[in-house]
Chains A and B, each alone.
Chain A
Amino acid sequence: MTESITTQKYKAFSVIRIWTLAANTVTQLLRMRILAFLTVFSLIAIAAGFSFPTMSPEQQLKLLKDVSFGSLQIFSIVIAIAATSILIPKDLEDRTLYTILSKPVPRYEYLIGKLLGVLLLIGGGLLIMDLILSAVIWIKQSLIITGQIAALKQEQSATPENVAAIKMIIGKYGLTWGVHAGVFAVFLKASVIAALSLLISSFASSTLFTIVVAFAFTIIGHGQQLLRDWFLHDTLSSGFGKIISGLVVIICPDLKLFDVVDKVITGEIISAVTLASMGGMATLYIVGYTATAYLFFVDKEL
């Protein structure tokens, strides 16, 4: 200990600090075995991929995507809410928050770092699941096409036109870029829900409260469009009802914006414009919720 005491420079915004917090959050959540969902998802996808062989080929592929995307959504929403809800209360309870914020770490960096960590975890998990799902769809699709061509050959009608038609029809319901677009939409929805959960946990007094309220808002968020229509156009409702629905419309995200899974299942093309629009809306929600979370968190007594 012969070094001299030095004065360090302070940076008001540091990407390194945010990345340090985010990386630590990812490790922290991984050690909680939060990605055990991945195994469950893989089993569901494989089971869905090789069940119901008596259905038509298109139905089999649609069902595979339907079940897999259902599990993807559940995985991402549960992780988004549960992981985000426990982070701040746990740091506060363990007093690690004291040691972090007593370093030159602004509170907004702490919030951004934690949220980024959750988003990285969800994004990473979804990426792996996307790869698993794509592999299962591709194998299933290849098996179906091979079976169909074999049947044509038996019927002695395996002309190049018929083979091409089968490949085109099955391909439409099989592995397309739309599958990845669908996973991206699921990620955007989960990111918005994570940011909303962060906002709730910034003022909530308990983890349970955060989880319950975040789940409630997630459910309401899927019907936010109905509420909005009622709030804006229905002239018969009471003033009090209008105020409540108006507040919900303002606070609650419109999660239907990110529901493109039905289109993906039926093989419809998801345009780049749609994806960009969803990305923009998600960014707006995330920035809005995080900024509001900061307003609550900056004055929080620790």
Chain B
Amino acid sequence: MTPDISPTTAVSVENLTKIFKIGMTKKALVAVRDLSFKVNQGEVYGLIGPNGCGKSTTMKIMLGLVKATQGRTAIFGRNSEEVASRNNVGFLPENPYFYKHLSARETLHFYGKLCNMKGSELHDRAEAMLTLTGLTHAADRRVGGYSKGMLQRIGLAQALINEPRLLILDEPTAGVDPVGSRRIRDLILELKQRGATIVVTSHLLEQIQEVCDHVGIMSNGQMVKEGKLEDLISVGNQTEIILEDASPELLEQIRGLINKNDQQTKLVSLGKPRTTLEKLFLESTTQTGDQEPS
């Protein structure tokens, strides 16, 4: 599969192969093998797969941090090896660390200046990002004393500082509590509504399911399944009906209709749907993670 680079394509990965030479013997390790996919503008694309399947390597190649052995990646039509391709990109690496001697505000100013921002534009944007990520209360505290969740949020803030058109998030919710995790998920959806393109990897498949339009599943450096989320997860020959306040009599009637109507139709399950543990947690806790612990 060779994706075309149309004006609507934000990311294009074509026949990408990456081989690392390991150790003194230069033993070849194939991290990514003939990988192709594209991400359209305004889309949220989830790249999932087990550890070591090549997701992070693919992201690094997209960002020009690692060179491809074969194939090509492009961002908004520009080859990823060109520095200019990163002009409209924000990246949050997995488990990020920042300069410990800087405060959150200084960190955002540092990254903003690297994007050639200055003056009131930079100041306003940094304040907006602190508010957005719920770090205003800790803006003047050194990042060295931040919790993992706060580091993830400042990481997200720095990725957004230049108002990028493409956001690349590598495990954005790793180590973040459910409230913070929900916040990041909401933020992804908000950015999507504003027209940003997002490529995200996560081990939390439920979250991927909630935010992604397209999903690619990688295994052993290859794409094993790819497509629209709805197409991938819907079970073609099954139908789901969810009723509210249904009486036992009505349920019995439905069961009877199914049994009577067609010999091929089988009732797979009938019972109360379950909430998720995450939803239960979010309903039960009031601490948002924004305030200082009292």
Residues of A within 8 A of B (CB): 1, 3-12, 14, 16-17, 20-21, 24, 27-28, 31, 94-96, 98-106, 299, 301-302
By a CB distance below 8 angstroms, the chain B residues around A21 are 114
In the bound complex, how far is the Cα of B97 from the Cα of A65, in angstroms?
45
29 pairs of residues in contact across A and B, judged by CB atoms under 8 Å: A1-B132, A1-B191, A4-B194, A5-B194, A5-B196, A7-B87, A8-B162, A10-B87, A11-B116, A16-B113, A17-B113, A20-B110, A20-B113, A27-B102, A95-B93, A95-B96, A96-B98, A98-B91, A101-B65, A102-B65, A102-B90, A102-B91, A104-B116, A105-B83, A299-B67, A301-B20, A301-B65, A301-B66, A302-B60
A1, B101: Cβ atoms under 8 Å?
no
- B93 — which chain A residues lie within 8 A by C-beta? 95, 98-99, 102
Flag if A104 contacts B87 (CB, 8 Å).
Answer: yes
Closest B-chain residue to A8, C-beta based? B87
Query: Residue of A at shortest CB range from B109?
Result: A20
Q: What residues of chain B have their CB less than 8 Å away from a CB belonging to chain A? A: 20, 60, 63-67, 83-84, 86-91, 93, 95-102, 110-111, 113-116, 118, 128, 132, 155, 158-159, 162-163, 165, 168, 190-191, 194-196
* B189 CB, min distance to chain A CBs, angstroms: 11
Residues of A within 8 A of B159 (CB): 99
CA distance A28 to B106 in the complex (A): 13
Residues B88 and A14 in contact, CB atoms below 8 Å apart? no
Q: Are B190 and A5 in contact (CB under 8 A)?
A: no
Query: Quick check: A24 and B99 within 8 Å, CB to CB?
Result: yes
Contact B97 A94 (CB under 8 A): yes
* Separation of A31 and B196 alpha carbons in the complex (Å): 38
Q: How far is the CA of A68 from the CA of B98 in the complex (A)?
A: 38
Task: Check B89–A8 contact: CB distance below 8 A.
Answer: no
A102 partner residues in chain B, CB cutoff 8 A: 63-65, 86, 89-91, 93, 168
Closest B residue to A101 by CB, please name it.
B65
Tell me which residues across on chain B come within 8 A of A16, comparing CB atoms: 113, 116, 118
Closest partner residue, chain A, to B124 (CB atom): A3
Per the bound structure, the CA–CA distance linking A3 and B190 in Å amounts to 12
* A74→B87 CA distance, assembly (Å): 43
Ranked nearest first, the 9 interchain pairs of A and B with the lowest CB-CB distance are A102-B91, A31-B101, A20-B113, A94-B97, A10-B84, A10-B87, A302-B65, A103-B114, A98-B93
Are A95 and B97 neighbours in the complex by a CB distance under 8 Å? yes
> With A1-B194, A8-B88, A105-B114 given, is the CB distance from A95 to B95 under 8 Å?
yes
Beyond contacts A96-B97, A103-B162, A105-B83: 9 other A-B pairs, Cβ-Cβ < 8 A, are A1-B132, A9-B87, A17-B114, A27-B101, A98-B96, A99-B96, A99-B155, A99-B158, A102-B89
